[in-house]
Chain A
């Protein structure tokens, strides 16, 4: 299994990471090596085996639909890198 530099660039774009050229080459080599090792799982017989997403026997955990205390707007904004009029401020999205 070989990860090309093109694969790395594609994945970096999906993951919103900006890599320089040197890093792309290094990461391609490292990911290839890791995936070569990890790909050993493809040899396991999993015919008819259900996947495990979660190792505990809990599902559909619900609670009463009632208002409970939560962070105030002020608290939620306290770590915002840029805030304006009670909102998070971001660069223009729609041209």
Chain B
């Protein structure tokens, strides 16, 4: 066995553990040692929980193993974990220890996944580079001078640097897929309602969705299966049965009709991203897919619609941080002053900006022109998808228009940062599923490029089998320079 345990996929490790070839404690120890080695330079974690992880691993080794038990996991620090600080990378929640766990966290704990830590993010998941964390920036394992993407940058970087075998992120407008693309890993945003939102610290409730960030497509299918399914604690949770995502992986791509979205496959892409994307489309053809171009005219308005709707929802959701029930309090002479002092000290600049943007879009005199109009435009996006899916089974685009960018490159101008989610936002508005898988390294800078598959709502199975066939054919085996075992 040439690979260290931390270098292997979750599916491999699960098999080794259930066969008794290695123990969950050995696997978890390998990952913890790896954390100690590289975390000082990557900085993926807001909180590390090695003791709790080893305790879970020991519990697994003592005989309570399910099919994926013992494979170490990292959770984005916007997912509540009972008794473990959950900060959303915000000063507002710096010392918040939830009295309950999110359904996704509880399910994975019951499945016997040792949790090694809580990963860094853009504060309240608002951002595309993890630079908006109130605590520190996370570094891209492929180039430590560059961002890992965001907002689930800590999750993507932890998986890409071997500090977790797999991770859960959350995606509101690209926050799983874009960092996955920038870190050369797989990121899956499930259909809205497939995975419970109970215990996710809310950003934009009609868009938020948790999902897997993994080393390969099979692991994404395994982890999705483990978290998907109805939850009575979430009124927006769908009652539909969860299909066998792993069982369909080998079914191939032959005969699938795949549409290349015209609006996000040409202009605005970095040349190296465009080249790898076009090669990827060629590979899909070679695998037997019927590939055609499709136009979804509202795609170019996706960011605009999103930046009216998501901040509006955020401004309402974040009203709860008032210094009364939990989180930071900064005292003031009266309640209103205490509220304002607390919120100004607790929220960073991007969060304040979005709260104000959303408050403005919802305010008297502007509601119809902005928020109301955006909600109608959202219907147009959904109709565009419905039209496209009459002719196609799946749609494809790059996972991100650029490779990983340098620290500070987009922080001066919020709009430039917002545009880095241009490929991802439309599927979020439609509540549909999408996945980003690595499709090579850019010839421009040697950094990973992602290919995004988009599917109809609840058609994760078709999306996963196409992504799997693509991944197998491409055989992307490149790893970050730090991917060595000492």
- B-binding residues in A (CB < 8 A): 3, 7-8, 10-12, 14-19, 23, 27, 30-31, 33-35, 37-42, 44, 46, 49-56, 58, 61, 63, 71, 75-76, 78-82, 88, 90-93
Alpha-carbon gap, A50 to B380, bound state (A): 9
B334 within 8 A of A: yes
- A-side contacts of B355, CB under 8 Å: 15, 17
Shortest beta-carbon distance from A79 to chain B in Å: 3
Interface of B is mostly: helix
Interface contact tally, CB-CB below 8 A: 175
Within 8 A of A (CB), among B353-377: 353, 355-357, 359-360, 363, 369-370, 372-377
Interface of A is mostly: loop
4 shortest A-B CB distances, which residue pairs? A55-B431, A79-B326, A51-B375, A81-B329
Residues of B within 8 Å of A, CB-based: how many? 73
Whether B363 contacts A30 by the Cβ 8 Å rule is no
- B-side contacts of A93, CB under 8 Å: 334-335
- A-binding residues in B (CB < 8 A): 96-97, 99-100, 191-193, 206, 232, 235-236, 238, 298, 301, 303-305, 307-308, 315, 319, 322-329, 331-341, 343-344, 347, 349, 352-353, 355-357, 359-360, 363, 369-370, 372-380, 382, 413-415, 418, 429-432, 457
Of the candidates B327, B369, B372, B430, the one whose C-beta lies within 8 Å of that of A51 is: B372
Q: Which of A3, A7, A41, A50 is most buried by chain B, counting CB atoms within 10 A of its CB?
A: A41
Known: A55-B192, A81-B329. A15 touches B379 (CB 8 A): no
Alpha-carbon gap, A56 to B335, bound state (A): 38
Whether B360 contacts A79 by the Cβ 8 Å rule is no
Whether B353 contacts A30 by the Cβ 8 Å rule is yes
Alpha-carbon gap, A79 to B320, bound state (A): 14
Whether B363 contacts A81 by the Cβ 8 Å rule is no
Whether B359 contacts A15 by the Cβ 8 Å rule is yes
Q: Which of A10, A61, A71, A81 is most buried by chain B, counting CB atoms within 10 A of its CB?
A: A81
Of the candidates B99, B236, B304, the one whose C-beta lies within 8 Å of that of A40 is: B304
Known: A75-B99, A79-B325, A81-B327. A53 touches B377 (CB 8 A): no
Shortest beta-carbon distance from A28 to chain B in Å: 10
Chain A residue nearest to B418 in the complex (CB): A34
Whether B97 contacts A79 by the Cβ 8 Å rule is yes
- B-side contacts of A17, CB under 8 Å: 340, 343-344, 347, 352, 355-356
- B-side contacts of A42, CB under 8 Å: 369, 373
> 10 A-B Cβ contacts within 8 A?
A16-B336, A16-B340, A18-B341, A30-B414, A34-B307, A35-B370, A41-B304, A71-B99, A79-B97, A81-B328
Alpha-carbon gap, A24 to B414, bound state (A): 16
Whether A8 contacts B356 by the Cβ 8 Å rule is yes
Shortest beta-carbon distance from B294 to chain A in Å: 19
Whether B335 contacts A91 by the Cβ 8 Å rule is yes
Whether B339 contacts A92 by the Cβ 8 Å rule is no
